């Protein structure tokens, strides 16, 4: 019984992009530790899970917390998920297919484990602790390598019966449009994600229209990252700025459709592109939303950049684990 009473910490784990983050929080969600590690593409299911466990073990050691003191673990993961079973159905960049992530962590750490989409936990973190704190309805759009979306309505994440939802990046924007990684054509990701922006920017470099970007990255798409785009714009590449603004306007059109559907009081823009270029994205999305939404909804949605950065995912994951634990206890 004494050991049960001592269990008063929450772990948040965010497995997004090329990095994994693990953190320990106390009952007031004050961070006690944070460990960052890189993920290795196509490393394989078992190897990635082992790396995740080592990372969480380091976070526990840094916080001087015994794993028996954990009340729950929240994990944000990319890929299609079976939320009811806690299984990652597929995450190609990690070499994952049907990985029972919740069960593996529950067995190792002896506490409840909550699995959610990585964008969902980021949006939930902004709702609980960040740019959308206290909102009734929050829609999050996170452009990066892909374009993720999430919605928190009256304190609860919007989700399907089994899967996460809000696949904003796969809204149909063009007909027939460019081929998307999902196998369909004309998705938002093909015209407004970072790879789409990088491809247009590389073409501008090849035409001699972006001399600063040519110096910073050349035409190699892998080198045209969000921070590099921001630096090229800062150094005076007007064409690069125009390309980014056009992508942000396309994102704004998708956002306007979401405002018409959900009437959110806050729309949060996050992810690497927004972090590097917050003013362009907030300004363009705000402009297009104002022009395109129904009159009833005009001026009713506050559009803001996420403010928690990497902390949003781990905070959101830990807070969701706590919320799920509270529901289970009722």
Residue 75 maps to which CATH number? 3.30.420.40
Q: Compute the average pLDDT of residues 223-250.
A: 97
Using a cut of 0.85, tell me whether the model's pTM lies above it: yes
* Whole-angstrom distance, CA of residue 104 vs CA of residue 56: 13
* Whole-angstrom distance, CA of residue 136 vs CA of residue 180: 33
- Is residue 270 within 8 Å of 126, Cβ to Cβ? yes
What pLDDT shows up at residue 38?
A: 81
Name 156's bridge partners.
153
Q: Check whether residue 255 and residue 147 sit in a common domain.
A: yes
> Does residue 314 lie within any of the structural domains?
no
Confidence band of 330 (pLDDT split at 50, 70, 90): very low
> Does residue 124 lie within any of the structural domains?
no
**Residues making up the chain, counted from first to last:** 330
What pLDDT shows up at residue 80?
A: 86
* Whole-angstrom distance, CA of residue 12 vs CA of residue 62: 14
What pLDDT shows up at residue 90?
A: 82
Q: Is 64 exposed, middle or buried (0-12, 13-18, 19+ CB in 10 A)?
A: exposed
What pLDDT shows up at residue 4?
A: 41
Domain total for the chain? 2
Q: Check whether residue 275 and residue 247 sit in a common domain.
A: yes
* Whole-angstrom distance, CA of residue 265 vs CA of residue 148: 19
Q: Check whether residue 137 and residue 248 sit in a common domain.
A: yes
Q: Check whether residue 44 and residue 103 sit in a common domain.
A: yes
The separation between CA 135 and the C-alpha centre of its own chain, rounded to angstroms, equals 19
Q: Check whether residue 13 and residue 52 sit in a common domain.
A: yes
- Is residue 142 within 8 Å of 122, Cβ to Cβ? yes
The yes-or-no verdict on residue 5 having pLDDT over 70 is: no
- Is residue 111 within 8 Å of 126, Cβ to Cβ? no
Q: Check whether residue 136 and residue 101 sit in a common domain.
A: no
Q: Check whether residue 136 and residue 276 sit in a common domain.
A: yes
Confidence band of 79 (pLDDT split at 50, 70, 90): confident
Q: Check whether residue 260 and residue 173 sit in a common domain.
A: yes
Q: Check whether residue 83 and residue 136 sit in a common domain.
A: no
Residue 238 belongs to domain spanning: 131-305
What pLDDT shows up at residue 181?
A: 85
Q: Check whether residue 198 and residue 279 sit in a common domain.
A: yes
């Amino acid at each position: 019984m004494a050991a049960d009473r001592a269990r008063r910490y929450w772990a948040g784990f965010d497995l997004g992009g090329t990095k994994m983050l693990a953190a320990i929080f106390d009952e007031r969600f004050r961070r006690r530790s944070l460990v960052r590690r890189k993920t290795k593409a196509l490393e394989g299911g078992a190897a990635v899970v082992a790396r995740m466990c080592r990372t969480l073990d380091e976070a526990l050691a840094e916080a001087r917390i015994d794993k028996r003191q954990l009340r729950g673990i929240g994990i944000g993961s990319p890929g299609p998920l079976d939320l009811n079973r806690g299984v990652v159905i597929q995450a190609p960049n990690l070499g994952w297919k049907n990985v029972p992530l919740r069960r593996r962590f529950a067995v190792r750490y002896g506490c409840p484990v909550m699995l959610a989409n990585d964008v969902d936990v980021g949006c939930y973190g902004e709702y609980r602790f960040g740019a959308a704190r206290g909102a009734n309805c929050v829609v999050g759009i996170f452009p990066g390598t892909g374009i993720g979306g999430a919605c928190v309505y009256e304190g609860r994440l919007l989700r399907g019966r089994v899967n996460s939802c809000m696949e904003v990046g796969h809204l149909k924007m063009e007909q027939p449009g460019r081929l998307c990684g999902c196998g369909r054509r004309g998705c938002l990701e093909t015209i407004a994600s970072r790879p789409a922006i990088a491809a247009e920017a590389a073409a501008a470099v090849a035409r001699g229209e972006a001399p600063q970007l040519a110096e910073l990255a050349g035409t190699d798409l892998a080198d045209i990252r969000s921070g590099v785009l921001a630096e090229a714009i800062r150094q005076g590449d007007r064409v690069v700025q125009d390309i980014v603004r056009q992508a942000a306007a396309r994102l704004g059109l998708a956002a306007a459709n979401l405002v018409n559907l959900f009437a959110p009081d806050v729309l949060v823009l996050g992810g690497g592109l927004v972090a590097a270029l917050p003013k362009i994205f907030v300004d363009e999305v705000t402009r297009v939303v104002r022009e395109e939404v129904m009159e009833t909804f005009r001026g009713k949605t506050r559009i803001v950049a996420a403010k928690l950065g990497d902390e949003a995912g781990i905070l959101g994951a830990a807070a969701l684990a706590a919320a799920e634990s509270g529901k289970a206890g009722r």
